[in-house]
Amino acid sequence: MANHRLTCFEVYNFEAYLPSFLREYIHGKLDLLRVWLIENGILADNPKGGAESKRVVAARDAFQSAANDLTSKENQLTEAQRDLEMDYGTDDIFRALKGKCFSTDSGEYEYELCWMDKTSQKSKKGGGHTTMGNYVRIDTEMADEEARVDGKGLGSGPRTVLRYDNGQGCWNGPNRRTDVWLACAEKEEIWRVSESEKCVYRMEVGTPAACEDVQQPAERPKDEL
């Protein structure tokens, strides 16, 4: 009986009798075989020491990738919905201008208008930009001004006004807002910026987008003899 137990013990520990290089070779081959069996679903992956299995890691990575893709798609959908709800004027005339910015120097500030986005100012003495308003909607108001010699004026009649609200708050005052009055011009240009009341700005801008097409008068039908 003792001899039988000794024989089983010796067989179970047969690798103890192998040279070290041969033991390392066999272990390497067994490890490769185990990985192959796990990757092909033949052998369960039971990692030691609390380490995560490759299947768990792969599953988590796949889930995270899918979650990131879903979040991206939801953001795109939200942005598309917001774009559909945005007021771009008659026949979406201002859509092509969205995000385009231009600026001008006036006094101690540089003023910037970004179509359908925001208005801002920056002091020439340094510092960052101050948001004067974020685009909200388009209105129409009547202008009543005398024509200017340089042609850079609103004139009189109905004019398109872009409302930019909820800008940065003023010191001990409300949030800034800007009314952008548009008039027909050959190029985009900020003509004047004024502060009609505390933190409420009026920006007069020339742009081809405000030009109406000149309609030729209809030809009168000839009287039949």
Q: What is the pLDDT of residues 68-107, one digit of tens each?
A: 888 888 888 887 787 777 778 778 888 888 889 999 998 8
Predicted TM-score of the model (pTM) = 0.61
Compute the distance between CA of residue 168 and CA of residue 132 in angstroms, rounded to an integer: 6
- For residue 26, give both structure tokens: 């066999």
Domains of the chain: 2-64 (no CATH), 90-210 (2.70.130.10)
Higher pLDDT, residue 51 or 173: 173
Do 104 and 121 form a contact (C-beta atoms < 8 A)? no
Q: How many CB atoms lie within 10 A of CB 88?
A: 16
User: Across residues 128-140, what is the average pLDDT?
Assistant: 93
Tokens 């800034």: give the residue: 176
The closest alpha carbon to 132, from 81, 70, 190, belongs to: 190
pLDDT in tens, 200-223: 999 999 999 998 643 333 344 445
State the sign of the Cα–Cα–Cα–Cα dihedral 185, 187, 188, 193. negative
CA–CA separation, 178 and 133 (whole Å): 6
- CB proximity list for 141: less than 8 A, separation 6 or greater: 158, 159, 161, 181
